[in-house]
A and B are shown apart, each in its own frame.
Chain A
Amino acid sequence: MKAVVTVIGKDKPGIIAKVSAMLAENAVNIEDISQTILSGNFTMLMYTDISKSALPLAALGDGLKKLGEEIGVSIHIQHEDIFNAMHKI
C-alpha cells in the first residue's frame, strides 16, 4: 500500500531527519522524496510504501501529526488513492 507524506511549514534544520526517522521506526519505506523552499516555506513530498508498517495508516497519521506539532510544521500522510481518484481518470 502506498501513501503520500506531505510536510509544510517554516524551514529549519532536521525536518527531514525527524520525519524519516519516525517512518523508519515503523518500517515505512521511502520510495521517492522531493523538497523545495520558497521564501522560507518548506514543502516536502514523500512517496512511501506502508505495506510493512507496524502501525495502521490512521495511527501513523496521528504519530506524524504529533511530531509536526513538536517541530512546528504541518505533516500529513494520506493513502495515494485519494490523489489518484481526484486527478486520474
Chain B
Amino acid sequence: MLSKKEIFETIDMVAKEHLDVRTITMGVSLIPCIRESAKKTADACYDRICFFAKDIVKTAEDLEKEYGIPIVNKRVSITPASLLTANFPGQETVLARRLDEAAKEVGVDFLGGYSALVPKGMTSYEKSFIESIPEALAITDRVCSSVNVGSSKAGINLDAVALMGNIVKKTAERTRETDGFGCAKLVVFCNAVEDNPFMAGAFHGVGEAEKVINVGVSGPGVVHYALKNNPDADIAEIAEIIKKTAFKITRAGQLIATEASRRLQAEFGIVDLSLAPTPVMGDSVAHILEEIGLERVGTHGTTACLALLNDAVKKGGVMASSKVGGLSGAFIPVSEDYGMIEGARSGELTLNKLEAMTAVCSVGIDMVAIPGDTPDTTIAAIIADEAAIGMINNKTTAVRVIPVPGKGVGDFVEFGGLLGRAPVMAVQKASAEKFIRRGGKIPAPIHSNKN
C-alpha cells in the first residue's frame, strides 16, 4: 500500500515544485494528403489533422484531472511539409495558412512540421519551400518550422546552412513588429529526430506510424528541490538523487503517455526524458546547476555540472519508460529559464559558454536573442558550429536564435508566456563570410563509416 509520505511527495511536486507533463504531442502522417494543387493539398491536410486530433485537448484535460498532473501543452506534429508541397513550388504558404487554421480548430497551441530535411542535398522544391518559411511564420500564429542541415551520417550541407542564416534573418525582419518573434518558431537542426514532441522542432518523421502520441516530461523544479534537501551530498550522491527524481518524473509521463495513446487510439510513440524549464521562478535548469555549487550559471564548472545532470536524467528516465526517444536531456533555452536569463543578464553566461554546454546536453543554442544587425553569414556560422558539435558527437544539436530587429546588446526582448524574455547577447565581431560563401558540403565524419 502507498504510504502517506509517498502520496504527499507527489502532491508537493505538483503544488510546490512545478511537476508537470510538458507536452502531449500527436504525430500525424500527412503523406496521403498530397494532391496536385496547393489548395487541394492544404484542404486534405486540414481535414486529416482535424479528424485525427479532434479529441487531443479534451483527452489531455481529462487526464490532467484524473491523475492530478498538469499537462501544459497539447500539440500536433506533421510529416515534414516540404514533402507535401513538391507539386506546387511558390505556393507553399497556402498550406501554412491552412495548417494554422487546423491547429486553431483542434485547439492545440502549436503545430510543428513546417519542415525540410536537407542534410545531404537540397531539391529545387525543398529550396523553394525553405524560402517560404519567413512568410509562413509571419502569416501564421501556431505553425512551427524546422530545417535539418546536417547529420553524423551525411555531414553538413553548408549550402543549406548559408541559406538558413539568411532565412533566420528574413524571418526576424518579416516579424519586426513583434521583435522577430517568428524566429522563436524556427529551429535549425543537425541530427534532427523524427519523434520529438517539443516545439519548435517537432515533426512527424516518414519512418513513423500513421498516428502517434509522444510525450515530453518536465520537472526542473522537482530536481532542484530534491538537491536543496541534500546540501551536503557529494557529487556522486547528487547524481543518484537526480536519477531517482528523474525516474519518478518519467514514470508519471509514461503513465500519461500510455493512457493518452489508448484513449486517442494512437500508437504510443515515446517519452522524451527532458528537463524543460519555464520562465517562472522555481522551474529553472540553471538553478539546478547553481544548487550543485555554481555562484552563477555560465561560470567555469557549468559544463561539468550540466553533463552530470543530463546523464543522470537519462539514466533515471530510461528505466522508467518502456520507449524512450525524442531529444531526451536537459534543455537550456535562455529566454525560457529564469536562471539562464539572470546568468545572461549578469554577463556570466555568454554565447560561447552556451555553445560548450550544448556539447553535453540537449539540444543547442536555444531561444537566444542576438543583435538585429548580426550579418546572416554570422548566423550561418553559429549554425555551422552547432551542427559540427552534433555531427561529430552523434547527437542532436540545434540553433534557435532571434536577431531582434533594431535592438542591440543590453536591450531586453519580451516574448511572453512560456517563451519568456531574453537579454540580447553579444556575438563575435569578426566575419565568417568567406567560409560560409564557399558553399558545398562538409564531408561526413570518419565514424559515419560503420558498416
Chain A interfacial positions (CB closer than 8 Å to B)? 4, 6, 8, 34, 43, 45, 57-58, 61-62, 76-88
Contacts and interface: CB of A to CB of B under 8 A. Distances in A.
8 contacts: A61-B65, A76-B11, A78-B68, A79-B66, A82-B255, A83-B10, A86-B10, A86-B252
Residue from B3, B62, B67, B252 having most chain A Cβ neighbours under 10 A: B67
Contact of B67 (A6, A81, A87): A81
B7 A43 contact: no
B441 interface: no
Contact of A87 (B6, B11, B62): B6
B254 interface: yes
Interface residues of B, number: 21
A10 to B, nearest CB: 16
Contacts of A80: 2
Contacts, number: 59
Contacts of A77: 68
A45 B4 contact: yes
A79 B66 CA distance: 6
A80 B252 CA distance: 12
A78 B67 contact: yes
Given A43-B8, A82-B255, 13 more contacts: A8-B11, A58-B62, A58-B65, A62-B65, A76-B11, A79-B67, A82-B67, A82-B252, A84-B2, A85-B255, A86-B248, A86-B252, A87-B2
B251 interface: yes
Nearest to A74: B15
B401 interface: no
B9 interface: yes
A84 B255 CA distance: 10
Contacts of A79: 66-67
A4 B6 CA distance: 12
B59 to A, nearest CB: 11
Given A62-B65, A78-B66, A85 B252 contact: yes
Contacts of A87: 2-3, 6, 9-10, 248
B326 to A, nearest CB: 19
Query: Taking chain B's interface residues, is the majority helix, strand, or loop, or is none over half, making it mixed?
Result: helix
The 3 closest A-B pairs by CB, nearest first: A78-B68, A58-B65, A87-B6
B96 interface: no
B251 A4 contact: no
B73 to A, nearest CB: 19
Residue from B3, B7, B8 having most chain A Cβ neighbours under 10 A: B7
A61 B254 CA distance: 22
B8 A61 contact: no
B248 to A, nearest CB: 5
B260 interface: no
B7 A57 contact: no
B65 A57 contact: yes
Contacts of A76: 11, 68
B387 to A, nearest CB: 38
Contacts of A34: 4
B254 A85 contact: yes
Given A58-B66, A61-B66, A45 B251 contact: no
Nearest to B319: A89
B222 to A, nearest CB: 11
B241 to A, nearest CB: 15
A34 B248 CA distance: 25
A9 B400 CA distance: 44
B69 interface: yes
A81 B7 CA distance: 11
A5 B69 CA distance: 14
A76 B67 CA distance: 10
Given A61-B66, A62-B65, A87-B2, A82 B10 contact: yes
A4 B2 contact: yes
Nearest to B68: A78
A71 B78 CA distance: 47
